Every structure is written in C-alpha cells, then in structure tokens.
C-alpha cells in the first residue's frame, strides 16, 4: 500500500476542498474562496498554532493553540475560534513579570464584499449595517482573524494581573504607610472641625 502525505502551502487549498483539518501555523489569514463557492452551512476546520502573536506595542501572546471553525453564511463566513495560550504580564502587586495563562472563544462574522466568481463588489442590503467595525473578507477572498483575536485575548486577560499564591507582595515602605495614615487623620480632623460648630 502506498501512502503519500504532502505538506505545504501549495497543497492547502486542495486539502481544504477535501474537508481535511488544516493547520494555521503562525498565520491568521485564511483563503475562503473555496468555501464561498460552497453551499450555505458548509464548514471548514483548522488547527491554530501561533508561537508569538503581538497584542500591543509591548505585549505579546505566546504558545497560542486552538481551533478555528468556519461556516458559510449567506452574507459571508462565520468564524468560531477557541484558543488558549500565555501572555507575559507584570504582576500588579510585586511588579515581577510572570506568565499569565488565558483561554477564550469567540464567533465573528466576516462579511463578503466581493463576489467570488465575478469579483464584482457586493453592496450591503439596506437593512444591513456595514461600518469600519464590520469584519470583511478582502478582495482576494481572504479573511484575517488577527484583529478580533487580538481584541479577544486582551479582554480575556485579568484587569489586575496577579502572579499567584507565591507572590512576594509589594515592598512596604514604612514612611509611605505612615504618610497615608496621616492623610486620613488629617481629613477626619478637618471633617470634625467643619461639623463642630453645628453641634
Ligand atoms: Zn506578584
């Protein structure tokens, strides 16, 4: 028996047509030309694997692993993404850098703006709202998960990063604490003084 397995970008589109699960390896763009020519409800599945994914000027996710499922809609493609990974954050208490694990999932509709067969621009129906917030499939029939993925990972991160039970805690500066207490007493004293004459 002869089995041949081929790997590489050139084979991706063909393999997608046969319904194989493909890997998005260090890329977030997916060509959906084939899916757009399939019936509404058709699906494609991908494994997602990003070694490093930039979130912000000084923030990046690492070891992002997950799955992407695409569903052909009448007006475009729905992408369902389920992923986890880590982001190096600064602990709000001890200010040390630590690896924060995250997990998130989202579904985003990518609107079709160009007809896949003719390349002619599709106008949105009057009842449909399309603005710069709307995710779209570009004129090369590619959708890019990057921007929504970036936003969803940021939302999945804790508001107040905390390195965990081993956190050494903030360095307590004695004079600083005394200063805060002095302020409190000063405020209290002022309030008492203001209330004083009324009683
Ligand atoms: Zn800490």
Separation of 167 CA from ligand 1 center, angstroms? 4
Separation of 165 CA from ligand 1 center, angstroms? 8
Confidence label for 196 from pLDDT (cuts 50, 70 and 90): low
pLDDT of 106-157, one tens digit each? Answer: 999 999 988 887 877 776 666 666 666 789 999 899 999 999 999 999 999 9
Over pLDDT 70: what percentage of the chain? Answer: 70
pLDDT, position 32: 96
Separation of 114 CA from ligand 1 center, angstroms? 50
Q: Give the pLDDT mean for 89-97.
A: 95
Separation of 104 CA from ligand 1 center, angstroms? 23
Strand partners, 144: 29
**CA distance readout (Å), 66 to 16, 90, 158, 185:** 18, 25, 20, 54
Separation of 190 CA from ligand 1 center, angstroms? 37
For the cut 50, the answer to whether the pLDDT of residue 84 exceeds it is yes
Q: In 68-106, which positions are buried (b, 16+ CB within 10 angstroms) versus exposed (e)?
A: bebbbeebbbebebebbbebebebeebeeebebebebeb
Nearest to 71 by CA among 148, 146, 143: 143
What is the residue-averaged pLDDT of the chain?
A: 82
| 105 or 176, which is more confident | 105
pLDDT, position 120: 77
Sign of CA dihedral 154, 87, 80, 48: positive
Separation of 158 CA from ligand 1 center, angstroms? 13
pLDDT of 160-177, one tens digit each? Answer: 999 999 999 886 544 444
pLDDT of 138-151, one tens digit each? Answer: 989 999 999 999 99
pLDDT, position 190: 66
Cα–Cα distance, 133 to 131 (Å, whole number): 5
Separation of 177 CA from ligand 1 center, angstroms? 19
Residue 77 — φ and ψ, nearest 5°? -135, 130
Find the angle CA(112)-CA(115)-CA(117) to the nearest 5 degrees: 135
Cα–Cα distance, 153 to 133 (Å, whole number): 17
Cα–Cα distance, 95 to 139 (Å, whole number): 45
Separation of 168 CA from ligand 1 center, angstroms? 6
pLDDT, position 16: 44
Separation of 179 CA from ligand 1 center, angstroms? 24
Contact 12, 34 (CB under 8 A): no
pLDDT of 26-46, one tens digit each? Answer: 999 999 999 999 999 999 999
């Amino acid at each position: 028996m002869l089995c041949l397995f081929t790997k590489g970008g050139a084979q991706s589109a063909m393999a997608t047509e046969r319904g194989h699960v493909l890997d998005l390896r260090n890329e977030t763009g997916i060509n959906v030309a084939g899916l757009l020519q399939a019936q509404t409800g058709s699906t494609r599945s991908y494994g997602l694997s990003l070694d490093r994914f930039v979130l912000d000027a000084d923030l990046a996710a690492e070891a992002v692993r997950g799955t992407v499922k695409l569903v052909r809609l009448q007006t475009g493609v729905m992408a369902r993404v389920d992923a986890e990974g880590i982001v190096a954050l600064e602990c709000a208490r001890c200010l040390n850098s630590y690896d924060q694990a995250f997990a998130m999932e989202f579904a985003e509709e990518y609107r079709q703006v160009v007809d896949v067969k003719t390349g002619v621009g599709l106008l949105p129906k009057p009842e449909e709202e399309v603005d710069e917030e709307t995710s779209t499939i570009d004129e090369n029939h590619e959708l890019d998960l990057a921007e929504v993925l970036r936003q969803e990972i940021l939302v999945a991160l804790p508001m107040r990063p905390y390195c965990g039970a081993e956190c050494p805690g903030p360095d307590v500066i004695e004079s600083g604490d005394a200063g805060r207490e002095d302020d409190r007493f000063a405020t209290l004293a002022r309030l008492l003084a203001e209330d004083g004459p009324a009683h």
